[in-house]
Structure 1
Amino acid sequence: MDLELLSRIQFAFTVAFHYIYPPLSIGLGVVLVGFEGLYLKTKNPQYAQLARFWIKIFALIFGIGVATGIVMEFEFGTNWATYSRFVGDIFGSALAAEGIFAFALESGFLGVLLFGWNKVSPTMHFISALLVTLGSMFSAVWIVVANSWQQTPAGYHLVGHDLAVRAEITDFWAMVFNPSSVDRLLHVWVGAFLAGSFLVLSVHAYYIYKNKYVEISKKAFKVALAVATVSALLQLLLGHHSAKGVAVNQPAKLAAFEGHYDSLAAADMYLVGYVNNKTEQVSGIKIPGGLSFLVDGNFSSPIKGLRYFKPEDRPTAVNFVFQTYHFMVAIGLLLIALTLYASYLLWRKKLFQQKWLMLVFAFAVLLPELANQLGWYSAEVGRQPWVVYGLLRTSDALSKAVKQNEVLFSLILFTVLYVLLFTLFIYMLNKKIKHGLDDFAIVADENPTTKRDNPIMHS
């Protein structure tokens, strides 16, 4: 493998591993706010018990997410020095804003969330849960803004010459609200809501299936199902709107999504298929003119195909982008079907009698995570050969001093380290789930409106 491909694989691996955790923490935070809000409203101690249990899992996810995210910042300097110089002014602003406005808020009130059960009122604890969740969502804002600027640069000018050229902000808010940032942020947020809510659904479906903590798990399942159902339906609309933005701002990427090669012609939409990039042919099941209809509302509207662009400006791994995009869409539709069916059964008061469905939900936690990963791969590989769209090619963004064997060696080390971290995470998560909710119940003589015990003291 050449240096560029190795460096891309290394960065993709570290980002993909890190991206397991932030969506979980964002989505789980939303469900936690629901539990705490319902406890304030109903005074039902079971909602406080659920909040205590899930806060411990939130802290575990948050900790590993922070640890795995640090590595990427070092990779910018070691493997992508030219890129770092080019985008330093842009990324510096966005990442500084994340630290000031998001991470400080999230980590600060996480302390109150974890250790404040005996120290603050239930109302203040609810506010802390809300602020921690908002902090995690604000963190996503600045990361997505930085990444979206790579996709659709705005609010900048170029200074310097040759290897010293770099982008410099001329309009901060134009940079923040670049043409793709809002669409992509909403898409990321809702994907995170799905990831977190399906984690809660999975655990409590497992408890119901095993006939453990049945009554309290039914309450948790209903809250998480409401979040998941709304999010699944909303994601369909947001995904469609985001794809229309890609059609305007990155037409070569959209062409790769559907394997559309004709220079300027009506574009089909494939349900399943395979792209042969050498022959520039796609085989599979398609809806003739389907992509044209989704983009423009007309089955015969012309869409720019890959042949419209110079060969050096086209995505190269077209089949990879095609498959990841279509699997992402398929999972999204499956999540809609699953949540709507469960909601229908809940309305009919038959949901929790369906043990087979509880088993399905126990494993369905993998689906939103997989969809989030596939969506990221589609967006990033589909942007190639540009690391900053239209401005800086990936091949030109590499560090000049790094050697292939150095990248390969560090990739192997990262793989070993991350496998160990993931194993530890699964072990700790499984331990907390198997341990159950008993230690988090409010004792009979405790006044739940004035006193809470500290869940950190429990084993």
Structure 2
Amino acid sequence: MDVVMLSRLQFAVTVFFHFIFVPLTLGLVVLLAVMETLYVRTGEEVYKRMVKFWGKLFVINFTLGVVTGITLEFQFGTNWSRYSEYVGDIFGSLLAIEATAAFFLESVFLAVWVFGWNHVSKKVHLLAIWLVAIASNLSALWIIFANGWMQNPVGYVLRNGRAELSSFFEVITNPFAWSQYLHTIFASWMLGGFFVLGVSAWHLLRRNDVDLFKRTVRIAIPFTLALSLLLAIQGHHHAQVVAEIQPEKLAAMESHWKTGTDVPMYLLTWPDEAQHKNAIEALPIPGMLSILAFNSASAEVKGLDAFPADEIPPVLPTFLSFRFMVATAGIFILLALAAWWYRKDLEDHPRVLKALLYVIPLPYLGIMAGWTVAEIGRQPWIVYRLMRTSDAVSPVPASSVWLSLAAFIAVYTFLGVLDIYLLSKYAKKGPEAQA
């Protein structure tokens, strides 16, 4: 493999490992803030025990997430120095704001929350966790602004052989970035909901602390169901944004080869990239792809034949990742509806509880499939139609990247296993005994 592919693999490994921690942080902290709000409003000790239990899991996940995130940004200097030199004026400013503002706020108030029990008032302590929740999601916003700019570059001029910022307002109002942010946040909050439901299901199956975990699921079920539905609705909107701004990505997502109107959607499809067609096309729904993409059966949907061969993204991984993501979204809605239906006596329905327990890994896989669509579907561009990935890599020998890739895999695997072990250990241990 050449240095470009090795650098892409290294970045993919580090991003995916880091993203084990990010969505749970974003989702769990919101539920944690809701739980503590209930404690402050009611004064019931059971809610305080609930908050401390889920808070311990949140801190474990957050701490390991910080460790994996710090090393991630260094790759822009080590592996992608030409990219950093070309667009650093824009990309660097967004990352700098995230680190110096949102992440700093998040870390400071998390410290207040962790060490503030019995040292600050209940209301101040509650304010701290809400500020952590807000700052965490603001931190994600600035990261998505940076990635959204790579997907749809706006607010720049080409000057002195590089892209320079011309309108910060255009960058932070980028419609692609905002759509991508909402899609990411809804998915992360939903993941947090399913994590809480899954762990609670484990305890309810064993009749551990039934009152506490019954209250927990009654908080998490409507939250998770609402987010599952919002994610599906917003996902449809985001696909329409992709159709408008990145038509070749949409064509790869649907394995759509020929430009036309009244384009059907095939329920059974298999791409044949070598022949530039589908090896299998069966069970068509007439006009559905045109309707889904542009709300009209008569709308033209560009096929992969409308683009130069060297600008077509890898079709099979984009197509399969998109299909997997959509399939998981359907599973989440059905399972959340089942939990809602049995919410009053969920502890008496072991099949639903087992399904909630076993589904814990699936939101992670669904989110990672979504990011696979976003990143592979943008190729061959690192900045869409502005800079190719092959032009962005650092001038380093492939052997150096092999070495760093192996090191990252070893270290990140250890951290990933450690995170799963600690979360599993303390999740099974359960809340502190009632005073």
Band of TM-score, shorter chain = over 0.9
In 1, Cα distance between equivalents of 2:213 and 2:235: 31
Cα deviation for residue 403 of structure 1 reads 1.0
Matched, 1:335 2:328: no
SS at structure 1 position matched to 2:342: helix
Matched, 1:370 2:368: no
1:45 alignment counterpart:
45
Structure 1 residues 406 and 268, CA, compared in 2 at 3 Å: closer, same or farther? farther
- 1:336 is aligned with what amino acid? I
- Give 1:139-178 correspondences, 5 Å limit: 139-160=139-160, 165-178=161-174
1:353 alignment counterpart:
348
In 1, Cα distance between equivalents of 2:57 and 2:93: 32
1:431 alignment counterpart:
425
- Give 1:210-249 correspondences, 5 Å limit: 210-249=206-245
In 2, Cα distance between equivalents of 1:50 and 1:372: 27
SS at structure 2 position matched to 1:255: helix
RMSD: 1.3
8 Å Cα contact 1:260/1:268 also seen in 2: no
- 1:26 is aligned with what amino acid? L
Matched, 1:191 2:180: no
Matched, 1:55 2:55: yes
Which of 171, 175, 194 is matched with 1:179 structurally?
A: 175
In 1, Cα distance between equivalents of 2:147 and 2:25: 20
In 2, Cα distance between equivalents of 1:148 and 1:404: 29
In 2, Cα distance between equivalents of 1:264 and 1:288: 12
SS at structure 2 position matched to 1:292: helix
8 Å Cα contact 1:314/1:385 also seen in 2: yes
Matched, 1:79 2:85: no
2:291 alignment counterpart:
293
8 Å Cα contact 2:113/2:128 also seen in 1: yes
8 Å Cα contact 1:292/1:301 also seen in 2: yes
For these two proteins, the number of residue pairs brought into alignment is 433
In 2, Cα distance between equivalents of 1:272 and 1:78: 43
In 2, Cα distance between equivalents of 1:404 and 1:286: 46
Cα deviation for residue 270 of structure 1 reads 3.9
8 Å Cα contact 1:265/1:305 also seen in 2: no
Unaligned stretches of 5+ in structure 2? none
Cα deviation for residue 187 of structure 1 reads 0.6
2:121 alignment counterpart:
121
Matched, 1:208 2:204: yes
1:453 alignment counterpart:
none
SS at structure 2 position matched to 1:433: helix
In 2, Cα distance between equivalents of 1:303 and 1:172: 32
Structure 1 residues 213 and 271, CA, compared in 2 at 3 Å: closer, same or farther? farther
Matched, 1:419 2:416: no
8 Å Cα contact 1:264/1:305 also seen in 2: yes
Matched, 1:275 2:271: yes
8 Å Cα contact 2:76/2:84 also seen in 1: yes
Which of 300, 308, 311 is matched with 2:309 structurally?
A: 311
The alignment's TM-score, normalised by the length of structure 1, stands at 0.92
In 1, Cα distance between equivalents of 2:82 and 2:30: 39
8 Å Cα contact 2:338/2:352 also seen in 1: no
Cα deviation for residue 2 of structure 1 reads 1.6
1:89 alignment counterpart:
89
- 1:378 is aligned with what amino acid? V
8 Å Cα contact 1:89/1:169 also seen in 2: yes
The runs of at least 4 aligned residues of structure 1 exceeding 4 Å deviation read none
Unaligned stretches of 5+ in structure 1? 444-459
